[in-house]
Amino acid sequence: MTEKTLMDDLEQVRYPVGRLSAVRPPASPRERLAMIDALAGAPAVFRALVAGVTDRQLDTPYRPGGWTVRQVIHHVPDSHLNAYIRMKLALTEDTPPARPYYEDRWAELPEARTAPVAMSLDLLDGLHRRWVAFLRALPEADFQKAFTHPEWGIVTLDRSLAMYEWHCRHHAAHVRLGLAAAR
C-alpha cells in the first residue's frame, strides 16, 4: 500500500461525508428547511445508532487515535450547545464574537470518556427540539445575521445551519465506523 493510499484512506475515515470546507449555505428557503428537518431528525438517528450497544462497543474508537463512539456521542450536544448559543447571540447582538472551545479537551473529560450516553442523547433531543423551534420561527432575512469566529471569520446563520447539518452526518458516520470496528 502506498503512502498516498494510506493518506486517502485516513482522509476517508476522518471525513466520511467529506470535509466541512465543501459545505455551502442553503441557496433557497427549501434547502434551508431540509437542513432544519435534518437537525430535527438527528437525535433519533444517534439514538437508533447506539440502541442496544455494549460498553465495549461504545468504547471502541472510530479510527486509530480517534475518539470512541461514546466520546463522539457526548461531543455532539457539547458542540451543538455552542452552535445554538452562537446563533442566538447573532440574532440579538451586532455580529458578536464567538468564543471557540477546545473540543479535544472536552472529549477527554471524565464524563465524556465514561458516562452513559443516554444523558447526552436526552440533552441532544431537548436541545434540538428547542433549536429547531427557534430556526423555524425566524424570518428569512434573519438567516443573514452573523457572528464572528476567530478561525472561521464571519458566519451567517445560514452558514452555521449548513455546518451543523453536516456535523450531524459527519459524526453519525463516525459512530457507524466505530460500531463496525467493534464487531
- Report yes or no: 68 and 79 within 8 Å, Cβ to Cβ: no
Write out the three cell numbers for 120: 447526552
pLDDT per position in the chain (183 positions), as tens?
676 665 667 888 999 999 998 889 988 999 999 999 999 999 999 999 999 999 999 999 999 999 999 999 999 999 999 999 999 999 999 999 999 999 999 999 999 999 999 999 999 999 999 999 999 999 999 999 999 999 999 999 999 999 999 999 999 999 999 999 998
Between β-strands 146-149 and 153-156, what pairing exists: parallel, antiparallel or unpaired? antiparallel
Name beta bridge partners: 156. 146
CA–CA separation, 34 and 25 (whole Å): 12
DSSP lists the bridge partners of residue 153 as 149
CB atoms within 10 A of CB 6: 10
pLDDT at residue 22, rounded to an integer: 84
Provide the pLDDT for residue 123. 98
Compute the distance between CA of residue 93 and CA of residue 164 in angstroms, rounded to an integer.
21
pLDDT at 120: 98
CA atoms within 13 A on the CB side of 76: 36
Please state the pTM of the whole predicted model: 0.94
- Give the cell for residue 29: 428557503
Report pLDDT for 21: 86
User: Which residues, other chains included, contact 75 with Cβ-Cβ below 8 Å and sequence gap of 6+?
Assistant: 67, 103, 106, 107, 112, 171
Domains of the chain: 37-182 (1.20.120.450)
Predicted pLDDT at 11: 86
